[in-house]
Amino acid sequence: ADGLLPGLTASKFKLNASPPPAVQPFMDISQVTVRSVPTNVNVRLGQLAPFWTRVGEMTTPTVSTDFADVLQTFLGDADVENGFYLLPLTFHSDLLARLDVDVEIEYMAQQSLLPNGLSETKLQFDYNTTADAQSPNTNIEVTLPVGARVLADGTSGRVLGSFDDSRIVYGPTGVLAAQTAVMVSAGTSQAQPYTPTANVAATAIDLLLKVTPPGAVLNLNLRADFDGKPDATPLLPQSVELQLSEERNPVARWVSAELPTEFQFKAGQRYWLVLQAVNGTVEWSANSAAANGAAPLGLHFTSTGGLSWRQSKAQAQSGALDALFRLRYTPAQFTMPLEIEVGVGEVAQRVSLARFAPLGRIDFTLDFPEFAQAINTAAAQTESATCPTVEHLANPNFEEWLRIGSQLQPRRTVALPPSVTGASAIDIAASGEWGYVVMGDSEGVALLHVLDPICAEVRQTVPLGSLRPFDLVIHPDETRAYLSAGFQGEIYLIDVATNAPLAIPLRLRGRAVRLAVAPDGRTLYATETFIDDVNESTVQMARVQVIDTVLLEQLDRSQIDIATHNPFREIVLANEVEPVDLALSPDGRHLFVAIQDTDSSAQSGRIHVFDTGSLLPVGSPMEISDGTPSAIAVAPNGQMLAVALESIVESNSGALRLIELNRRTVLRDLPIAFNPVDVLFAPDNKRAFVIEQEVGNLAVIDLDSRTVETTLADNPIGQRLAIAPQGDTLFVTNRDQPSLTTLPIGLRAPTEWAQTSGAVSLVCLPEPHHLAAVLGTRGIRAGTTATTSAIAQITPAAGGCAYEFSFWALASVPGARAELVWRGDGCAAQRVDEIPIQVLENRLSTRPTLIGQPVSFAGSATAAGSTVALALHRLETNAPPLATQVEVRFYAPGDAIAVIDNVSLRGTSDALVNGDLRQMADDALVGWTREPDGTFTAFLSVADEGLLFDNRGTSEAALVQTIALGESPQDHAQFELTVAAKATLGVQAQRHPFIELSWLTAQGALTGAPTQTEVMPGDMGESQIVVTRPATAAQAELRLVAPAHTSLLLQRVGLRAVQTVTVPINFVAQSPGELVVRNLAVAYDVGEAVSPPMPVGGLCTPSLPGPRVGKSATECCFCPCCQEETEFVAP
């Protein structure tokens, strides 16, 4: 017996037995559960007042108000440890309670763009259009972690300034890098052609000149064109004289020449800018004319006073040249003289400030999204040149498989422990990753089995108690499942997170038989039949309950009385009928209800169609007068309805009726055995399946031809059907056996991997692997030749970057291998890295199961039921400098079988070797040493979550690794130390285990202060610490320390250089002036690092099995089966 007391407030309780007089009291209590509800909960930060209070009892999950403002205030005085704020959160409840708290903090980092921590900087401009680099504090830039993105909402800064009235109407601005220069001297003049595409008015001309000592005097004039050369007649009333003084450190600078009058350049006419030297020498900066897209006429020079002109040449520069110049004009009204150039070179982005021109002055803020977007664009294009640290491979763990073909494969039987038979129900989740099977016997004992549909294995079995299952559906969001227990009239809600039913089911008035859930998950439909008194006689009534699933969660189900006050909608069906099945259209708009007449002499029924919005009938019912419907299904494309008929009047046998739904016409009746109990469509609309329970057959229907494709006999008596969403496996629950029958459909191939030869199949392994790929053919027919099996995947790569390639694998015989084929432009092979796959030998501890069939390793004496422990393979390598992509491929020779899983190829900046502490060699951790050496009181062992470092001694023990850092501290000034670990403390432990990072000079001397972080007991946690490398540090030493009587469970440690991208910000001014920039800052979010760019021309085609790249082979003599050079002999 059990009981539930009403809510009480008490400090203690007592259980008393009240036996009859003269009887000794006896109490047999197996369990007492006390439920205490948190009451008047509040939360505060440190010693501050509570920022959130929940008055009353908290019986459901609750979300606090946003406390961002409180947190921002608290951070001003918060303690900082290892570069992170410490946030003490205090939770209070008036009553004893256990709280499960999730804290979500969305934050963004902010960075000032002004140099040296200044809040304001002043920029001086001359005709160079960029700020004078000689002035102090002009370097404005943003440095972002790779993958970070600037947010427009957090960008701020005020800009004020004043500039001359002239504006540039033609010519380059911003940061320029001239390719070459031409000489202008007393004996050599230069002329630059210019052909405007539109009319241009100019009042001044700017030139990029470098003055050589002792200075120079120049004359500038304009001339018309005469047959591709400057005409002899000047166009200006007088030449413009430029007097240039000597500079101490001469560099190319822009100078401006004011024209005597405004000059009109007419569209389409060619003009020549002629520069002569009265005395002295200057260099006029120029670029390749082709680079500027100009006409090939180019810059010309004369050394004969203009009698002859020739094309100018420059050292190390071929072709025509264009001298750098600008045209300047003074407009009548104010125009914005400023732009912002974000980035430099090819990645530079220009941000227009013309939106502020109507102000008539320079006084605005940089808080608009185009500025942030320009930074992001320039940063992203710069990141493409950095080394990516993301995973390069798709489907690296072989968890995703495609169905190839539709051929029916041999059936299998999956045992469902323990032995419970009888009624059953089954459904597969929409993701296809799991499912539920419920079996109940005649005594009312039911078991819930959690099914792995891909492996056709039971993961877990949960007792459900006394109920008889009728139907089961899984919610589309996979958080709930609904189970109807027919005779009890109950619908159980199953929590998918725990695989257990919630305490209180929903009770209907009578039998709850069939269920259906809407595609959006908002509505659950349940058939219901019950007996009621009508006019002093008992009548069987039928309903379809239309249950709001959200309301169902919110209501107290123990207080719901469907008979007196139904909180849900319902569909009233006719009396004296039996609703036997439900089906929904794919869009969820129509509900189909199959009805049997309860008159035992009638073999008839009908199919009702209801609108799920209004619950009104859609047309008249589809009458069935020549048979009794037992099950229905709607095709996934919504065009066809299948109705299983228990018996046909004329033939006294069963049938499957196919109905075209648009016109509601019968397409065909297909004869099947008597008493079909379930029908199901394949997801691709190509087949339907019917259980013929009377004879234990499974009928397979070809929907294209509308015929019975095949009937699979000799099955256990089936009850319910389910199919994987991928359509690759059909499941049949069996009535008289605690088992499932599975029917594989088609073959499976791993997604994203190209099968280039031989055979690849799926294998299911125990944790931590799950699914893996098997290369090779498990059985070779006599007289056939074994074929090499190979799979490959090609991915973009970054040349010159460090990569880590790893995988878990095992082979039956030598010869299997993994290769990295680095390719460059035109798919040319740059290099091949090769890893032989370890051979089975003595690694055999268990044997993998290939969808129920043992993987046969040739020559191995394995025990039945065992599985294989795969070996970790790892290679650290640098991509060739010219590599743009890499082919990852695995080979298994014709006589070999290779099992492969968890393949990884990622760029790495991790300085540690064997950071996951999984790689062993000669019973020692690769890359790590023990301190003290030779200790016998600290033990290493492999645990489920990682490596266990257990110190049972009385002194400290440590795992140590020394890392060389290189010679450029400025390139890697910051490092991120990542630790995923948890600690266990013995009774005599004096302190927690800890991780210590020390910096060393090249001679091994300590430099700078070590960084320590303690590892705490509890759940496995990951902590990150950003540390700054001292300028004198050439090495780092990382120590994983377990003090006496403690242990460390280590999952991973990492030490990687923080990769950053620096984006310069330059203001571009069209005229001389002054600019003041105040409080310029950006906010950013750190996201995932970018992947390498796609190579020009796309990815190469995976290579077929052949001779190893880089080794000579003749086309006539290489055998792809045996993978070696063989002399061919004529038969």
The predicted-structure confidence for 915-933, as pLDDT tens digits, reads as follows: 988 888 777 888 999 998 7
Give dist(CA 395, CA 362) in Å, integer: 54
Rounded mean pLDDT, 464-492 = 89
CA angle 1039–1041–1044, rounded 5-degree value: 155
Domain ends where: 107, 136, 153? 107
pLDDT higher than 80, residue 1029: yes
Task: Please report the pLDDT score of residue 870 as a whole number.
Answer: 87
Q: Calculate ∠ Cα 534-540-541, nearest 5°.
A: 85
Both tokens assigned to 650: 């004329």
Residue 913 is assigned to a structural domain of this protein: no
Q: What is the DSSP string of 604-650?
A: -EEEEEEETTT--B-SS-EEE-SEEEEEEEE-TTSSEEEEEEEEETT
Beta strands per DSSP E along 195-309: 200-211, 215-226, 229-234, 240-245, 253-265, 271-279, 282-288, 300-302
The two structure tokens encoding residue 817: 């291998």
Are 476 and 621 contained in the same domain? Answer: yes
CATH of the domain at 321: 2.60.120
Residue 348 has pLDDT above 60, yes or no: yes
- Does residue 856 carry a pLDDT above 70? no
Residue 878 has pLDDT above 70, yes or no: yes
Give me the torsion for CA of 1103, 1104, 1106, 1108, rounded to 10°: 30
Would 767 be classed as within a structural domain?
yes
What global pTM score does this model have? 0.74
Same domain, 278 and 154: no
Q: Any residues with CB less than 8 A from the CB of 275 and at least 6 apart, and which?
A: 184, 189, 190, 191, 192, 207, 218, 219, 220, 284
CA distances (Å), origin 291, targets 128, 179, 661: 21, 10, 67
HSE (side-chain half, CA atoms, 13 Å) at 216: 25
Q: What is the pLDDT of residues 1067-1115, one digit of tens each?
A: 999 999 999 999 999 999 887 777 888 998 899 999 887 665 555 444 4
Q: List the single range of 467-476, 648-657, 1072-1081, 1119-1128 with lowest mean pLDDT.
A: 1119-1128
Domain presence at residue 406: no
- Give which of 937, 878, 869 is closest to 899, Cα–Cα: 869
Asked whether residue 1121 carries a pLDDT value surpassing 90, the answer given is: no
Query: Per the domain annotation, does 88 fall within a domain?
Result: yes
Ranges of H-type helices in 511-570? 549-554
Which helix (H) or strand (E) element contains residue 71?
A: helix 68-75
Q: Residue 535 pLDDT more than 70?
A: no
pLDDT at 844 over 50: no
Q: Tell me the sheet residues that pair with 921.
A: 924
Six token digits for residue 925: 């951790």
Q: Is the pLDDT of residue 536 over 70?
A: no
DSSP per residue over 526-538, as a string? EEEEEEEEETTEE
Helices (H) and strands (E) in the chain, counts: 3, 86
Is residue 863 scored above 70 in pLDDT? no
> Would you place residue 147 in the very low, low, confident or very high pLDDT band (cuts 50, 70, 90)?
confident
How is residue 485 written in tokens? 């227990």
Residues 1036 and 936 in one domain: yes
Compute the chain's Rg from CA coordinates: 40
Q: Are residues 80 and 203 in the same domain?
A: no
864: helix, strand or coil: coil
Return the exposure string of 1052-1061: e unless at least 16 CB atoms fall within 10 Å of the residue's CB, then b: bbbbbbebbb
Strand intervals (E) in 246-387: 253-265, 271-279, 282-288, 300-302, 310-311, 321-323, 325-329, 338-342, 349-352, 362-365
C-alpha dist (Å) from residue 106 to 112, 801, 1085: 20, 33, 10
The answer to the question of residue 284 being in a domain is: yes
Kindly list the distances between the CA atom of residue 1019 and the CA atoms of 388, 958, 1040, in Å, as whole numbers in the listed order: 31, 22, 18
Of the three residues 589, 607, 625, the one that is the final residue of a domain is 625
pLDDT above 90: residue 1044: yes
Place 291 in a pLDDT band, splitting at 50, 70 and 90: low
What is the C-alpha separation between 51 and 945, in angstroms, rounded? Answer: 38
C-alpha to C-alpha distance for 175 and 1064, rounded to whole angstroms? 11
Longest dimension (CA), the chain: 142
d(CA 228, CA 241): 26
Q: State mean pLDDT over 946-955.
A: 90
Same domain for 177 and 316, yes or no, is yes
759 and 831 part of one domain: yes
Q: Nearest 5°: CA angle at 1102, between 433 and 886?
A: 90
Query: Same structural domain for residues 343 and 229?
Result: no
CA dist., res. 896 & res. 814, Å (int): 8
**Tens of pLDDT, residues 352-396:** 999 999 999 999 999 999 999 999 999 988 876 678 888 999 999
147, 100: one domain = no
- What domain range includes position 794? 751-907
- Residue 333 burial (10 A CB sphere; 0-12, 13-18, 19+): exposed
Report the pLDDT value the prediction gives residue 86, as an integer from 0 to 100: 87
Q: What is the mean pLDDT of residues 469-487?
A: 91
Q: Judge whether 418 and 436 are in contact, CB under 8 Å.
A: no
Task: Please give the average per-residue pLDDT across 630-634, as a whole number.
Answer: 96
- Evaluate whether 326 touches 172 at the Cβ level (below 8 Å): yes
pLDDT beyond 80 at 33? no
How confident is the model over 133-151, as a mean pLDDT? 86
Which of 1058, 1085, 1107 represents a domain boundary (last residue)?
Answer: 1058
One domain, residues 184 and 321? yes
Locate 1082 and state its tokens: 């950006």
Within a domain: 666: no
807-835 confidence digits (pLDDT tens): 999 998 899 999 999 999 999 999 999 99
Cα separation, 338 vs 163, in Å, equals 9
418 within some domain = no
**Do residues 762 and 891 share a domain?**
yes
Query: Quick check: 783 pLDDT over 90?
Result: no
Q: Report the CATH number at residue 1049.
A: 2.60.120.260
Judge if 497 and 589 occupy the same domain: yes
The amino acid sitting at 681 is F
List Cα–Cα distances, 699 to 655, 706, 716, in angstroms: 11, 12, 14
- Identify any residues that bridge with 223 across adjacent strands, giving them in sequence order: 234, 272
- Coil vs helix vs strand at 323: strand
> What is the spatial distance between Cα 314 and Cα 286, in angstroms, rounded to a whole number?
9
Q: For position 862, what pLDDT does the model report?
A: 33
Phi–psi pair at 55, nearest 5 degrees: -75, 135
Beta bridge partners of 949: 940, 1048
| Total tally of structural domains belonging to the chain | 6
pLDDT tens-digit readout, 671-693: 988 889 999 999 999 999 999 88
User: Do residue 326 and residue 337 come from a single domain?
Assistant: no
714 vs 303 pLDDT, higher one: 303
Region of 67 on the Ramachandran plot (φ > 0 left; ψ -120 to 50 alpha; else beta): alpha
Q: How does the average pLDDT of the chain come out, rounded? A: 87
| 212 within domain boundaries | yes
pLDDT, average across residues 1024-1030 = 87
Taking the C-alpha atoms of residue 84 and residue 967, their distance in angstroms, rounded to an integer, is: 29
Higher pLDDT, 199 or 37: 199
Identify the pLDDT of residue 24. Answer: 61
